[in-house]
Amino acid sequence: MTIRIRSILVFLLPLIVLLLVSCGQQDEEPQTKGPSYEQRTSSNRPVLRLAIHPLHNPRKLTEAYQPLIIYLNERIPEVQFELEASRDYQAYEVKFRARKPELILPNPWQTLEAMKVGYEVISMAGDAEDFKGIFIVRRDSGIEHPKQLIGKIVSYPSHTALAACIMPQQFLHDNGLNINKDIQNRYVGSQESSIMNALLGEASAGATWPPPWRLFQRDRPEDAAKLKVIWETPHLMNNSVMVRDDIPKDIVQKVTHLLHSLHESPKGQSILKGMETAQFYLANNDSYEQVRDFVAVFEKNVRPVEQP
């Protein structure tokens, strides 16, 4: 009897080991998947997603904006707000054109595009004076005038990034460059990547806008010390906050009130600081007509926005 039991155990032992190994692999499998671009919590309440255009990479964007989501959830219990990031500008634009997110925080050009599919502006995020393009170069680059970029590489996050690409390209055009022939335009996917291209010498200049540059200076002071802002563009309207036109009006009113009063409390000021946003200002669709005028001039003189 003992010999028979021993034989059975000898037969079963490899199967048991195989089963345990398989279970361990299943436990580890979620860690090997790509990043999740949504912050989800279990709730029976209706879900309203706030999709933010790629101001930063998804990790930094979550760090900056998740406190705002928590703040809204604490004060509007009827619904559940969730944060949604996107891997790049084009992926973000696909989302809002399909009317998937309930709320969006797009750049001003994307704001015009979102109006076409039924989103409405309720706020401007940050000071208008902060919405401008800046050029970053290495301190040892020797570059002083835009025409010194002829024949060289300039990096941008995306060809549809208004402050960090469209406005800088208009600036170069105004300073005598044909951006389609005189320079090599490199679209590198994110604000941080554009700055890093300048730092590493992969580009002679990197275009971005003030909030990512301030974060880079804060997080990487030694690298930032090797760089400088050499030119900046005039400013435009800042990013907007928009809601889809089928969202209940009472919820829209509550969100609007909370955003516009955020700067009035210490907690709200802390949230704004983390987002590199001075405050939220009252705005509507008509507020962005000046952006429409700017884009029309750019497309006439430089290139179509959606064709790099």
Number of neighbours of residue 141 by Cβ within 10 angstroms: 17
Q: Given strand 184-187, what is the order of strands in its sheet? A: 184-187, 153-156, 205-208, 134-138, 227-232
Terminal Cα distance for the chain, rounded? 79
DSSP 170: H
Assigned token pair, 290: 């000046």
pLDDT score recorded for residue 184: 98
pLDDT score recorded for residue 253: 98
The per-residue b/e assignment along 195-230, b for 16 or more CB within 10 angstroms, e otherwise, is bbbbbeeebbbbbbbbbbbebbeeebeeebeebeeb
Domains of the chain with bracketed CATH: 47-128+237-301 (3.40.190.10), 132-232 (3.40.190.10)
Cα gap 152→142, rounded to integer Å: 13
Contact criterion met (CB below 8 Å) for 141 and 147: no
Q: What is the pLDDT along the chain (308 residues), one digit of tens a residue?
A: 444 444 434 444 444 433 333 333 333 333 323 333 344 445 588 999 999 998 888 888 999 999 999 999 999 999 999 999 998 899 999 999 999 999 999 999 999 999 999 999 999 999 999 999 999 999 999 999 999 999 999 999 999 999 999 999 999 999 999 999 999 999 999 999 999 999 999 999 999 999 999 999 999 999 999 999 999 999 999 999 999 999 999 999 999 999 999 999 999 999 999 999 999 999 999 999 999 999 999 999 999 999 88
pLDDT score recorded for residue 10: 40
